[in-house]
Structure 1
Amino acid sequence: MTTAKRALKKYFGYDHFRPLQEEVIKSVLQGEDALVIMPTGGGKSICYQIPALIMEGVTVVVSPLIALMKDQVEGLHANGVDAAFLNSSQSAKQQADVMERITEGSIKLLYVSPEKLLSHEFYYLLLQLKVNLFAIDEAHCISVWGHDFRPEYAKMAYLKKQFPHVPVIALTATADNLTQKDIVNQLGLVNPKKFNSSFDRPNLSLNVAPGKDKFKTILGFLRQRPHQAGIIYCLSRKATEGLSEKLKNAGVNASYYHAGLSAEERARRQEDFINDEVPIICATIAFGMGIDKSNVRWVIHYNLPRNIESYYQEIGRAGRDGLKADTLLFYSFSDVIVHRKFIEESAQKEVSHAKLERIQQFCDAQICRRKILLNYFGEHLEENCNNCDVCKNPPRVFDGTIIAQKAFSAIVRLKEKVPAGILIDVIRGSSRQEILSKGYQKIKTYGVGKDIAHQDWQQYMLQLLNLGFISVAYDEGNALKLTAQGREVLFGERLVNLVHLASMKSDPEVKPILKTGKQEAREGLFEALRKLRLQISREENIPPYLVFSDASLQEMAQEEPTSEFEMKLISGVGVRKYQLYGDLFINEIVEFGQKKNQEAKKSGESFYQTYEYYKQGFSVEEIASIRKINPVTIYSHLASLYEKGADIDLTEYLNSSELEQIEDAYRSLNETGNVKDLYLFMKEEVEYYKIRLGISYLKVLSSS
Structure 2
Amino acid sequence: MAGDALDILKSVYGYEAFRGLQAEIVGHAVAGNNAFVLMPTGGGKSLCYQIPALLRPGMGLVVSPLLALMADQVAALRQAGVRAAALNSDLPPEERRALWSAVDAGEIDLLYVAPETLLRGEVMDRLSGTRLSLIAIDEAHCLSQWGHDFRPSYRQLDALSERFPTIPRMALTATADEPTRAEILAHLAIDERDAFVAGFDRPNIRYAIEEKDNPRAQLKAFLRRHDGSSGIVYCLSKRKVEETAAWLRSEGHDALAYHAGMDKAEREANQIRFQHGEAVVMVATIAFGMGIDKPDVRFVAHLDLPGSMEAFYQETGRAGRDGLPSETLMLYGHEDIALRVRFIEEGDSPPERKRTERHKLDALLGLAETPGCRRQVLLSYFGNACEPCGNCDTCIEPPDLFDGTIAAQKALSCIYRTGERFGQAYIVDVLLGKTNDRMRQFGHDEVSTFGIGTEHDARLWRAILRQMIALRLVDVDVSGHGGLSIAPAGREFLRDKPDLMLRVPKAPRAKRSKGTARTAETSLPESDRDLFQALRQKRTEIARLQNVPPYVIFHDRTLIELAAARPRSRTQMADVPGVGEAKLDRYGPAFLSVIAEHEG
TM band (smaller chain) = 0.7 to 0.9
Cα distance between partner residues in 1 of 2:279 and 2:556: 17
- How far apart, CA to CA, are the structure 2 residues paired with 1:326 and 1:570? 27
2:543 to 517, 532, 537: 537
Change (3 A) 1:166 1:239: same
Counterpart of 2:565, as a letter, is E
**Are 1:118 and 2:119 an aligned pair?**
yes
Residue 50 of structure 1 is matched in structure 2 by 51
C-alpha deviation, 1:198, in angstroms: 2.0
Task: Quote the offset at 1:559 in angstroms.
Answer: 2.0
Alignment map for 1:323-472 (pairs within 5 Å): 323-344=324-345, 345-347=347-349, 348-381=353-386, 383-395=387-399
Contact 1:237 1:284 in 2 (8 A): yes
Q: Shift of residue 570 of structure 1? A: 1.4
**SS state of the match for residue 254, structure 1?**
strand
The answer for the alignment partner of 2:85 in structure 1 is 84
Tell me the residue number matched to 2:15: 14
The answer (yes or no) to whether the contact 1:254–1:278 under 8 Å persists in 2 is no
Question: For the residues of structure 1 that align with 2:253 and 2:567, how far apart are their CA atoms?
Answer: 35
Q: How far apart are the structure 2 equivalents of 1:190 and 1:358? A: 29
Q: How many angstroms does 1:397 deviate by?
A: 9.2
3-state secondary structure, aligned to 2:329: strand
How many residues get paired?
499
Shift of 1:592: 2.2
Q: Which has the higher contact order (CA 8 A, sep 6+)?
A: 2
| d(CA) in 1 for partners of 2:524, 2:372 | 36
Instruction: Report Cα offsets for 1:646-667 as digits up to 9, x if no partner.
Output: xxxxxxxxxxxxxxxxxxxxxx
CA distance in 1, matches of 2:505, 2:240: 28
Shift of 1:290: 3.6
After TM superposition, list the pairs within 5 Å mapping 1:142-291 onto structure 2: 142-190=143-191, 192-276=193-277, 279-291=280-292
- Whichever residue aligns with residue 506 of structure 1, its letter is K
Q: Return the alpha-carbon distance in structure 2 between the equivalents of residues 232 and 588 of structure 1.
A: 35
Secondary structure of 1:156's counterpart equals helix
Unaligned runs of 5+ in 2: 403-463, 472-498
1:501 is matched with 501
Conserved in 2, the CA contact under 8 Å of 1:154 and 1:187? no
Q: Which digits, 9 at most, give the CA deviation of each residue in 1:289-313, with x for residues without a partner?
A: 1421111111111111100111111
The 2-side partners of 1:593 and 1:362 are apart by 49
1:520 aligns with 2:504: no
The alpha carbon displacement at 1:516 in A equals 9.6
Q: TM-score, normalised by structure 1?
A: 0.68
Q: Contact 1:234–1:302 at 8 Å: present in 2 too?
A: yes
Deviation of the 1:252 alpha carbon:
1.4
Q: The residue matched to 1:554 in structure 2 has which SS?
A: helix
In 1, Cα distance between equivalents of 2:74 and 2:348: 36
Alpha carbons of structure 1 residues 211 and 121: separation in structure 2 relative to 1, 3 Å: same
User: Matched residue of 1:358: which SS?
Assistant: helix
Checking the alignment, whether the CA contact within 8 Å between 1:395 and 1:500 is kept in structure 2 is: no
**Aligned partners of 2:30 and 2:55 also within 8 Å:** no
Q: What is the deviation of 1:521? A: 3.3
Structure-1 separation of matches of 2:46 and 2:306: 26
- Tell me the residue number matched to 1:587: 593
Instruction: Say which SS state the counterpart of residue 61 (structure 1) adopts.
Output: strand
C-alpha contact 1:257 1:281 (8 A) present in aligned 2: yes
Greater Cα shift, 318-327 or 114-123: 114-123
Take 2:334 and 2:36, find their aligned partners in 1: how far apart are those partners?
37
Change (3 A) 1:285 1:502: closer
Determine helix, strand or coil for the equivalent of 2:112.
strand
Q: 1:279 to 1:518 in 2, by over 3 A?
A: closer
Match status 1:98 vs 2:99: yes
Counterpart of 2:493?
none
Pairs within 5 Å for 1:534-573: 534-573=540-579
Q: Following the alignment from structure 2 to structure 1, what is the Cα–Cα distance between the partners of residues 235 and 192?
A: 41
Deviations 1:583-623 (A, max 9, x none): 111111222233xxxxxxxxxxxxxxxxxxxxxxxxxxxxx
**Structural RMSD (CA):** 2.4
What SS does the corresponding residue of 2:208 show, helix, strand or coil? Answer: strand
Q: Is the 8 A contact 1:35 1:192 kept in 2?
A: no
The alignment partner of 1:75 has SS state of helix
Q: What letter corresponds to residue 302 of structure 1 in structure 2?
A: L
Aligned residues with identical type, % of pairs: 42
Could you tell me which amino acid in structure 1 is paired with residue 382 of structure 2?
A: F
Structure 1: which amino acid aligns with 2:398?
P
Amino acid at match of 1:363: A
Whether the 8 Å contact between 2:319 and 2:327 is mirrored in structure 1 is: yes
Deviation at 1:205, TM superposition (A): 0.4
User: Which piece of structure 1 moves more, 383-392 or 216-225?
Assistant: 216-225
| 1:168 maps to amino acid | R
Q: Are the structure 2 counterparts of residues 55 and 222 from structure 1 closer, same or farther at C-alpha, using a change threshold of 3 Å?
A: same
- Aligned residue for 2:109? 108
In 1, Cα distance between equivalents of 2:524 and 2:268: 41
Secondary structure in 2 matching 1:289: coil
**C-alpha distance in 2, partners of 1:257/1:516?**
30
Tell me how far 1:517 sits from its aligned partner.
13
Alignment TM-score, normalising by the size of structure 2: 0.80
Pairwise CA distance, 1:500:
8.9
Range 340-349 or range 141-150, more displaced: 340-349
Residues 1:97 and 1:393: Cα distance change in structure 2 (over 3 Å): same
Residues 139-148 or 557-566, more deviating: 557-566
Q: Distance in 1 between matches of 2:358 and 2:524?
A: 51
Q: State the secondary structure of the residue aligned to 2:261.
A: coil
Q: Secondary structure at the match of 2:100?
A: helix
Q: Is the 8 A contact 1:143 1:186 kept in 2?
A: no
Q: Evaluate the alpha carbon distance shift between residue 301 and residue 114 of structure 1 in structure 2; reply closer, same or farther with a 3 A threshold.
A: same
- Contact 2:38–2:197 (8 Å) recurs in 1: yes
Query: Alpha-carbon deviations, 1:497-543, whole Å to 9, x = none?
Result: xx992565434766438999983332222221111111111111111
Per the alignment, do residues 516 and 365 of structure 1 end up closer, same or farther by CA in structure 2, a change over 3 Å counting?
Answer: closer
Q: Counterpart of 1:298?
A: 299
Larger radius of gyration: 1
Residue 341 (structure 1) shift: 2.1
Alpha-carbon separation, structure 2, partners of 1:350 and 1:74: 43
Deviates more, 1:297-306 or 1:191-200: 191-200
Distance 1:190 1:384 in 2: 34
2:143–2:152 Cα contact (<8 Å) kept:
yes
